[in-house]
Amino acid sequence: MTVVRSVVLGVGSYLPARCLTNNDLAKMVDTSDEWIAQRTGIRSRHVAAERELTSDLAYAAATAALEDAGVEAGTIDLIVLATSTPDNTFPATATTVQAMLGITTGAAFDVQAVCSGFVFALATADALLRSGGGKRALVIGSETFSRILDWEDRSTCVLFGDGAGAVVLDAREQPGTADDRGILTSHLRSDGRYKDKLYVDGGPSSTRTVGHLRMEGREVFRYAVGMITDVIDDALAATGLTAGDIDWFVPHQANRRIIDGSARKIGFPPEKVVVTVDRHGNTSAASIPLALDVAVKDGRIKRGDLVMLEAMGGGFTWGSVLLRW
Ligand code: UT7
């Protein structure tokens, strides 16, 4: 019996021109290249220009993904954009991007699951495509976390960066086996008891301000590997695949130690792990599509490869998506 699967047709990304190194940050707060590199693996990150908005980053990534896929913007009937740093409280940044792309049909909306946003957006778009809620989707992760950082708080401002990534998904009939192309399974989780571990201390309803990011880093770290590996196990169990079957592990890029710890626990060898946190920092919902784009463009991820995506972040939210490229 055939099934509909969401097949990735193309990927694209965008990084703002300005690059901030650890040494640049050491001139702003009491930190050092050595501390940041040792504790996080980050060496540099990109920061959006003054007039550059989340929608601008998203538009650039979406345009690159459409070009990579070889499809016209007019064929897109669903845009799901993951962000925690929208241009405005409303409308959804996705509708701004829709207008920038000249699309006037279909639907566009934002998904907010902080660092897990791209995984949540992919799973949402996949569910809609599989149930006939669209034929072709743009799934975007775009963030300007530089706008919500407290640039005097060394425990957070050194960790994050700006950027955007996007994929084009196409609903296609497949035989219905683990050899199919496209999204094979997705697993989303959240637990709001941990909402105060990583949050922004402002918002339209609470303070009528935007607020700044606050994090109990050590606490987030404590839960991260366990939550990440749980949903990877769920994806493997759902498909009957094993860690040895996975060609590429493309994790959310928050901290090199979390990535290495998760890969080690599951049994993914280091050469199969895509790491970009050193150059991008934590770009929240944008980190997975940015890493995907790097590994596709440098020739590592090829058509037919099995790719495991995972993320964990504020909420807490966490999730995995297993797909065949
Ligand atoms: O995307 C998902 C969300 N985020 C994450 O996944 C982040 C998860 N957490 C982490 O990645 C790590 O906990 C951090 C990188 C944030 C911190 O690393 P850590 O090894 O957990 O360090 P710590 O928070 O335990 O701090 C150790 C020390 C502290 O000094 P004392 O109290 O031991 O004297 C901090 O004040 O390091 C100090 N410190 C710094 N020193 C230099 C904190 N930030 C800095 C800094 N430069 N930027």
Same domain, 189 and 255: yes
Same domain, 148 and 74: yes
Same domain, 195 and 103: no
Helix, strand, or coil (residue 78): strand
For ligand 1, the distance from its centroid to the CA atom of residue 20, given in whole angstroms, is 19
Residue bearing the CA closest to ligand 1, atom 10 = 217
For ligand 1, the distance from its centroid to the CA atom of residue 259, given in whole angstroms, is 16
Same domain, 162 and 187: no
Last residue of a domain, one of 144, 174, 204: 174
Helix, strand, or coil (residue 211): coil
For ligand 1, the distance from its centroid to the CA atom of residue 45, given in whole angstroms, is 17
Same domain, 217 and 97: no
Residue bearing the CA closest to ligand 1, atom 12 = 217
Q: What is the pLDDT along the chain (325 residues), one digit of tens a residue?
A: 899 999 999 999 999 999 999 999 999 999 999 999 999 999 999 999 999 999 999 999 999 999 999 999 999 999 999 999 999 999 999 999 999 999 999 999 999 999 999 999 999 999 999 999 999 999 999 999 999 999 999 999 999 999 999 999 999 999 999 999 999 999 999 999 999 999 999 999 999 999 999 999 999 999 999 999 999 999 999 999 999 999 999 999 999 999 999 999 999 999 999 999 999 999 999 999 999 999 999 999 999 999 999 999 999 999 999 999 9
Helix, strand, or coil (residue 221): helix
Same domain, 21 and 104: yes
pLDDT of residue 103: 98
Q: Please give the structure tokens belonging to residue 127.
A: 């569910």
Q: Which atom of ligand 1 is nearest to the CA of 224?
A: 6
Q: How many domains does the chain have?
A: 2
Residue bearing the CA closest to ligand 1, atom 27 = 218
User: CA-to-CA distance for 24 and 1, rounded, in angstroms?
Assistant: 57
The H or E element that residue 110 is part of is: strand 107-111
CA 278, 284, 289, 292 dihedral sign is positive
- The residues annotated with a catalytic role in the active site are 115, 252, 282
Same domain, 194 and 218: yes
Same domain, 143 and 266: no
CA 153, 159, 164, 170 dihedral sign is negative
Same domain, 154 and 233: no
Q: Are 72 and 10 in contact (CB under 8 A)?
A: no
Same domain, 99 and 245: no
Residue 295 sits in a domain of what CATH number?
Answer: 3.40.47.10
Mind listing the pLDDT tens digit for each residue in 270-313? 999 999 999 999 999 999 999 999 999 999 999 999 999 999 99
Q: Which of these, 241, 282, 248, 280, lies nearest to 263 by C-alpha position? A: 248
pLDDT of residue 1: 84
User: CA-to-CA distance for 59 and 101, rounded, in angstroms?
Assistant: 7
Q: Which of these, 124, 121, 138, 123, lies nearest to 77 by C-alpha position? A: 138
pLDDT of residue 298: 98
Same domain, 151 and 202: no
Q: Please give the structure tokens belonging to residue 254.
A: 């928050």
pLDDT of residue 200: 98
Question: Given the DSSP bridges, would you call strands 213-215 and 198-200 parallel, antiparallel or unpaired?
Answer: antiparallel
Q: Which atom of ligand 1 is nearest to the CA of 254?
A: 1
For ligand 1, the distance from its centroid to the CA atom of residue 36, given in whole angstroms, is 9
Last residue of a domain, one of 153, 174, 195: 174
Question: CA torsion angle for 116, 12, 53, 146 (degrees, to 10)?
Answer: 50
User: CA-to-CA distance for 123 and 183, rounded, in angstroms?
Assistant: 9
For ligand 1, the distance from its centroid to the CA atom of residue 216, given in whole angstroms, is 8
Determine if the pTM surpasses 0.85: yes
Look at the block and give the residue holding tokens 């989707």. 137
Query: Ligand 1 pocket test: which of 218, 252, 288 has the largest number of ligand atoms within 8 Å of its C-beta?
Result: 218
Sorted by sequence, the CB contacts under 8 Å of residue 237 that are 6+ apart come out as none
Q: Which atom of ligand 1 is nearest to the CA of 257?
A: 11
User: CA-to-CA distance for 306 and 179, rounded, in angstroms?
Assistant: 9
pLDDT of residue 184: 98
Same domain, 111 and 187: no
User: CA-to-CA distance for 94 and 101, rounded, in angstroms?
Assistant: 10
Sorted by sequence, the CB contacts under 8 Å of residue 244 that are 6+ apart come out as 267
DSSP assignment of 171-192:
EEEE-SSTT-SEEEEEEEEE-G
Last residue of a domain, one of 174, 209, 240: 174
Residue 116: domain span: 3-174
Q: Which atom of ligand 1 is nearest to the CA of 158?
A: 48
For ligand 1, the distance from its centroid to the CA atom of residue 218, given in whole angstroms, is 6
Q: Are 303 and 25 in contact (CB under 8 A)?
A: no
User: CA-to-CA distance for 265 and 87, rounded, in angstroms?
Assistant: 38
Residue ranges around ligand 1 (CB below 6 Å): 31, 35-36, 39-40, 115, 154-155, 158, 198, 217-218, 220-221, 224, 254-255, 258, 282, 312-313
Q: Which atom of ligand 1 is nearest to the CA of 282?
A: 1
